[in-house]
Chains A and B, each alone.
Chain A
Amino acid sequence: SQQGEEDPQALSIQEGENATMNCSYKTSINNLQWYRQNSGRGLVHLILIRSNEREKHSGRLRVTLDTSKKSSSLLITASRAADTASYFCATAKDNAGNMLTFGGGTRLMVKP
């Protein structure tokens, strides 16, 4: 199985609600990254959290990292229809950060 596994696989919410996605990984990491992908498009980098950080914010995004549980969560607050996309976590197998391993993603649908 992949290094990162997202949960849930799919999530449907109403506009204005919060969306929480979780990611679990297997081995020690230097950092963990979250990406967004709109249908049929490339990935857009959202946020990077380092192994010595527990929480990080960027606009409506909040990411937490629990290295003892090997898990991370991405919270999107006050969701908008434009947030509809797939969200992936990624970790690097090597110290240089070249060999990223992605989970299968969470497909988020935000209904207007």
Chain B
Amino acid sequence: DGGITQSPKYLFRKEGQNVTLSCEQNLNHDAMYWYRQDPGQGLRLIYYSQIVNDFQKGDIAEGYSVSREKKESFPLTVTSAQKNPTAFYLCALKGGDTQYFGPGTRLTVL
């Protein structure tokens, strides 16, 4: 929390629609991350970006896309190709060896 903002807190979409989740930070950190969490599970890395205009796939990138046009922003798009998009999505940034997390967005696809 603190300087990491994720909006909205809850998001509902119809099946087949793309949806973009917002992650903004005002802490001037370079590295940002997106994770997915399913009920009762740990987090899995979707994408990360170490610098503007550069990003890398994580463990479960299929069906997701990201952009990093500004240092402050790292939006995640959940595309219609993602078979099970309903989940809790967490954004994080890195300070030293530690990752700091935002409050999350709970996405429900109906």
Contacts and interface: CB of A to CB of B under 8 A. Distances in A.
Interface string A81-112: 00000001010000011111111110000000
Contacts of B74: none
Interface of B: 1, 4, 31, 33, 40-45, 48, 50, 56, 58-59, 88, 90, 92, 94, 97-104, 106
B74 to A, nearest CB: 13
A94 to B, nearest CB: 10
Contacts of B98: 33, 45, 48
A28 interface: no
Interface of A: 2, 4, 30-31, 33, 35, 40-45, 48, 88, 90, 96-105
A104 B41 contact: yes
A107 B41 CA distance: 11
Contacts of A88: 42-43
Nearest to A50: B97
